[in-house]
Amino acid sequence: PVIREWMDRAAAAADFDLLHLLFYDREENLQKTRWQQPATFVMEHAMARYFTTLGIRPVAMAGHSLGELTALCIAGVYSPEDGFRIVNKRALCMDKAAGMHMDPGVMAAVDIPLDLLKEMIQGRNDVHIGNINSPNQIVLSGNTDAVKNLGKKLKEMGYRCTLLRVSMAFHSPVMKVIHDELEAFIASIPFHSPKIPVISNTTMAPYPSDPDEIRRILMAHLESTVYWMNNVQTLRKDYGVRLFVEVGPGDVLSDLIADTLPESACIQTCLPSAEGLTYKTALAKLFVQGSLKVQGEPRFISLPAFRKASEPHPVAQAPASRPSELGLVGSNPVERIIQREINRFVMETFGRFLKPNILEAVRQELNPAFQEGDLSSVIKSMLGDSGLLEDQKQVSPGESASPPLDLISAIPEQALPPPGEASEHQDIMERLIRIIMDATGFNREEIQPDMDLRRDLSIRSSRLPVIMDAAEHQFGITIELEDFIDVRTVRTSPRGSPR
């Protein structure tokens, strides 16, 4: 109710259907700067407000780029409605600026040492440092050809360079074209002294109390470098922050903080694979850390619907019906047979695609400890003991066991061996696993092809470009970031194109 209340307040200030955009619009629209920024602000702001209603008060705050505007709103610098209007106007201006330029520019993440990068771009006006995110990540911003050519040179030197999915070169002089319009817009909006310290991306210091100075820094923020790594270090050094809470979708900032302060603790609040569970887990962690106070003593509760976690494969208790009838509809025996055969066909044909989603749904809605073995048992019961599961398909004598259709799909088609040469496929799979081992430090026996990179292997999103870059070099291909960003397992790696 609290989150919905704050979303409704923002929707009342919008000149478009904000709630439709958040919950019903096409995903590609939310990837556009024009709509992504107001949607992100509303979501992050509402989540943060809910934390404050629970009595959670941060010692200090920092936000990355757009997130800084959210932090200022939470700190009381401007009202939530005015905060939304500022962000919406900012998005409108940026969208217009992208259309004004023949070349809106690009941004690229690199891992070259900062001092060396500064030497390489000294005196140039077509490439700038947009973000200093961590000791392992700097973001270039500037002219499209200039950034791409520099990125090519960096790769030849052995460094990584990954183009980002953005509409233009943010935090660079390109943004000057919208400065005056946005400055005039915010001039009439009341600004107040922050009630909670907010560390500026631009000055690397807390925002001052003077409203006019706050406006000046906020306008400089448009075309200035985001010193995120310095912000994190300031929070640790000057405010003693040891526990960071990332409010908003994803875990990118947590990864950057961990790269900057390896000994720090980071709590995520909204991971796309399990939004509700992540938020509840965050509250539990805050309670354990002493940051969330509750009335009375905590109560221990039992979950009678599940067996004890110490038992192997905890499975929800089944209804008292015959196994062959589980999940089947209708009392007519013929109807049950028809439904069973339909279920079998669906699982045999699409099981490898359905099972990860079913497993995730059960973990979110019923039991976070639910395992693949549990799911296989339930499916087997539904189909009957004679049912063939996706991973139990029989192979005729003399027929080679073909790998799943999406196996090793990171490799271009012409680089794959002819069908049936399973050993060649296995060799490529092993090379991919070796890349993951080198990037993460895992041992071979700890990695299986169907493991989830994030949930099972806990691979941070900041390591994915490392894996992507190594795969490009290993197989002589080019992988686009937008194809790689949603990778879940080794088997579902995106298909690259030959260089």
Residue recorded with tokens 């088997």: 491
CA separation for the pair 444, 481 (Å, rounded): 26
Q: Which two tokens stand for residue 97?
A: 């600026």
What is the CB neighbour count within 10 angstroms for residue 279?
18
Please, are residues 19 and 10 in contact by the beta-carbon 8 Å criterion?
Answer: no
Look up residue 404 and give its DSSP letter. P
313 in active site: no
Q: Which helix (H) or strand (E) holds 373?
A: helix 372-383
Please, are residues 69 and 47 in contact by the beta-carbon 8 Å criterion?
Answer: no
Q: Which two tokens stand for residue 499?
A: 């260089």
| Identified catalytic residue from 65, 324, 376, 377 | 65
| Identified catalytic residue from 45, 171, 221, 425 | 171
CA separation for the pair 315, 214 (Å, rounded): 56
Q: What's the distance, Cα to Cα, between the start and end of the chain in Å?
A: 52
291 in active site: no
Residue 36 CB contacts under 8 Å (≥ 6 apart), including other chains? 30, 91
Start-end of H helices in 200-332: 211-220, 228-239, 252-260, 275-288
CA separation for the pair 438, 471 (Å, rounded): 11
CA atoms within 13 A on the CB side of 194: 25
CA separation for the pair 108, 120 (Å, rounded): 15
Residues facing 162 on adjacent strands: 109
CA atoms within 13 A on the CB side of 42: 28
| Residues carrying an active site annotation | 65, 171
